[in-house]
Amino acid sequence: MVSNSAVIPSDLIGAAMRSSRILVTGAGGFIGHQLVARLKRQGHWVRGIDIKRPEYGETAADEFELLDLRRWDNCLRAMRNIDAVYALAADMGGMGFISANHAQIMHNNALINIHTLEAARESGVEHYLFASSACVYPEYKQTDNGEPLKEEDAYPAQPQDAYGWEKLVAERMCLHYREEYGLQTRIARLHNVFGPLGTWQGGREKAPAALCRKIAVAKLTGDPKVEIWGDGRQARSF
């Protein structure tokens, strides 16, 4: 779990320690923006790719290119002279967004994941880290009274929504590319990532940011009520 933007666990960046030229896809997003800065502080050369620039600050990347990674030619362009890839690019948001845009999410993310991974293989990339999600875990696990999850709990598979399914399929692709092609893939299942410089409004924000916004608005307006989903008794790990 990553719960603070200022601290990115070393195991998430270990694959790039021996590399000097690194690609971060999704570098315009909250995690990607922070990761680029972390890698730069470690002395690496970094290229950032996204369809948008970071919302709340300038990127630290040596190069930042606006590319749509659903397109194969853009994926190949992004991989030029790269040793390691952090694949964070995805069409995603909070539960309100991912529970209402199944076809869009499955289509866009499947193209991004397939093209990015294959372009990395063709371009001779050595290390590849895929940013997966807690959404790969079965939906029925949400009724287990907050029991800690284990990696093997993802199977038998019953992910929540299309977002979880496409992440789980991409995980399988990473495993098979490692087995059959020797590409050193790693997978990180991220849970409710939040912190400074993260999206906090507009419909794609995560639950912690939405709760913070609602509480701040309640204090400003003097309204003691904060609306949440569910019956108020549900649990979620932050």
- What is the tally of structural domains in the chain? 1
E strands of the chain, at which residues?
Answer: 21-25, 45-50, 63-66, 84-87, 127-133, 184-190
Give the number of other CB atoms < 10 A from CB of residue 121. Answer: 16
DSSP β-ladder status, 184-190 and 21-25: unpaired
Query: 144: pLDDT confidence band, cut at 50, 70 and 90?
Result: low
What pLDDT does residue 212 have? 81
* Residue 227 lies inside a defined structural domain of this protein: no
* Residue 233 lies inside a defined structural domain of this protein: no
* Residue 234 lies inside a defined structural domain of this protein: no
Query: 139: pLDDT confidence band, cut at 50, 70 and 90?
Result: confident
Mean pLDDT, the chain, rounded, equals 85
The whole-angstrom separation of Cα 167 and Cα 51 is 20
* Residue 163 lies inside a defined structural domain of this protein: yes
Residue 88: CATH number of its domain = 3.40.50.720
Tell me whether residue 128 is one of the annotated catalytic residues.
Answer: no
The whole-angstrom separation of Cα 78 and Cα 57 is 22
* Residue 214 lies inside a defined structural domain of this protein: no
Over its C-alpha atoms, the chain yields an Rg (Å, rounded) of: 18
* Residue 226 lies inside a defined structural domain of this protein: no
Q: Give the structural domain span for 37.
A: 10-195
Q: Tens of pLDDT along 153-191?
A: 999 999 988 999 999 999 999 999 999 999 999 999 988
Which member of 128, 163, 177, 181 is catalytic?
A: 163
* Residue 18 lies inside a defined structural domain of this protein: yes
* Residue 94 lies inside a defined structural domain of this protein: yes
